[in-house]
Structure 1
């Protein structure tokens, strides 16, 4: 049995969520007793970046701990708000790099599944679905492995129209806010054994999932931590935007040249040559 101190961060939604957990765990990373938890979960909208570091300081002050006491730092890696994902990733990287700590990326859809199971321990199959805006849904399918005491990924995080979600092959819980966002357009809502609209990205279930991942060795060095956007092409990089603009310009120039060449051709199609009528004396 070991004592593990883990900091978990999530800013993938309109909430700034941070949890500090001190837990006794066995060799498999399973809790042997209820952990001590310090939590901040505040609706901040688009300003999570200004609230996250102060929230972290408050947690350590309350716990009487310092960053040096941490064994690992976990963050919600996505999908979710692009800006929010970058905020959590950057803060986790910065803190972990300075202390040479491992980083534990945890998918936000997996956090929804973990949240649903924490709220109802009988939950063993979860279709996690979050409103992705732009009339689409982020979704993934998870099954609880009793032997391993861990989630098994049946379907990795995907992006689809609400009507295209693939239903699990057995009774399942629908976790996340997709049912509230899309209503009857989401067949999974009526097919589900239960719908848990409160099972959303949150630092506490993230911390529980991260404790198991940390003890299983599913960590990355700070410089390799990265968001999982899923919808990669919505936010183009500057280079991509410039390349796209250049390609469109080249296409426009090519079309103009083709049009000009067509106009210069004679009616019989012989480019640059007079027509038969023009050739007669």
Structure 2
């Protein structure tokens, strides 16, 4: 059971969704039990997402089945994947009158690394994603016990322009942004102590950060759900605006 619940609190139930990478990933935390669906399906998120949702919640009706909030990977990541996720979360939250909880994809990926034993307490962890256009997304995180603390980011930059803080510290680096490893500045490349390029975030690893947000009351209404692209020039249309001509 995730550590963010204590015995004296009613356990919150979350549906978590992440489609920001090649993985289509869903997780359901209900009454302390975790179930998940996780598939690597590049460019097929929209085809698989609701089928996977029916596997986790075959009777639909999220609120009636005890779900308290929908947690989602807000980005950065694949533009199409982020749109698919945000649209689905908006629809689910509107239909069930539920709040949403956004979690950075890069933070979730850092939690995946922690859960899989790739990083440990005190480590500095650089979570990366390939931005597909000669750039990478990154966040610098610190592992503090069972938590991931954000130090810097999320940011996007060409590999040669990545300037990551705490220059004297060795890094554990995870994620598809490592495809650009040879193009990183020499001083940054020299700090890489361990590298895991094949790691992808899983929806279950949105839950620790979501639990902390829930405890603090940091939730969104459905109409406030939006992707985080990091790039300033990308805009997102909410449901009432979608389908309208520009």
Give TM-score, length-normalised by structure 2: 0.81
- Deviation per CA, 1:200-219: give whole Å up to 9, x if none: 22211112322222222221
Match in the other structure for 1:67: 62
- Deviation per CA, 1:190-235: give whole Å up to 9, x if none: 4123222243222111123222222222211111011001124267
Residue pair 1:101, 1:222 contacting (<8 A) in 2 also: yes
Match in the other structure for 2:184: 186
Matched, 1:8 2:19: no
In structure 2, do the counterparts of structure 1 residues 209 and 196 end up closer, same or farther at CA, with 3 Å as the change threshold?
farther
Residue pair 2:152, 2:165 contacting (<8 A) in 1 also: no
How far apart, CA to CA, are the structure 2 residues paired with 1:85 and 1:154? 24
- Deviation per CA, 1:108-150: give whole Å up to 9, x if none: 111111111112261432111111011101111112345xx64
How far apart, CA to CA, are the structure 2 residues paired with 1:195 and 1:166? 18
How far apart, CA to CA, are the structure 1 residues paired with 2:204 and 2:184? 28
Matched, 1:101 2:98: yes
How far apart, CA to CA, are the structure 1 residues paired with 2:70 and 2:50? 13
The number of aligned residues is: 224
| Of 33, 38, 42, the match for 1:36 | 33
Matched, 1:45 2:42: yes
Match in the other structure for 1:216: 216
Match in the other structure for 1:129: 128
In structure 2, do the counterparts of structure 1 residues 87 and 118 end up closer, same or farther at CA, with 3 Å as the change threshold?
same
Matched ranges for 1:53-202 at <5 A: 53-61=50-58, 67-68=62-63, 69-120=66-117, 122-123=120-121, 124-146=123-145, 150-169=147-166, 170-179=169-178, 181-187=179-185, 188-202=188-202
Give 1:152 deviation, angstroms.
Answer: 2.8
Counting helix residues as a fraction of each chain, which structure ranks higher? 1
- State the secondary structure of the residue aligned to 1:101: coil
Task: Say what the alpha-carbon RMSD is for the aligned residues.
Answer: 2.6
Give 1:186 deviation, angstroms.
Answer: 2.6
Residue pair 1:4, 1:71 contacting (<8 A) in 2 also: yes
How far apart, CA to CA, are the structure 2 residues paired with 1:97 and 1:43? 28
- State the secondary structure of the residue aligned to 2:132: coil
| Structure 2 residues without counterparts, runs of 5 or longer | 1-6, 238-244
- State the secondary structure of the residue aligned to 2:227: coil
- State the secondary structure of the residue aligned to 1:8: strand
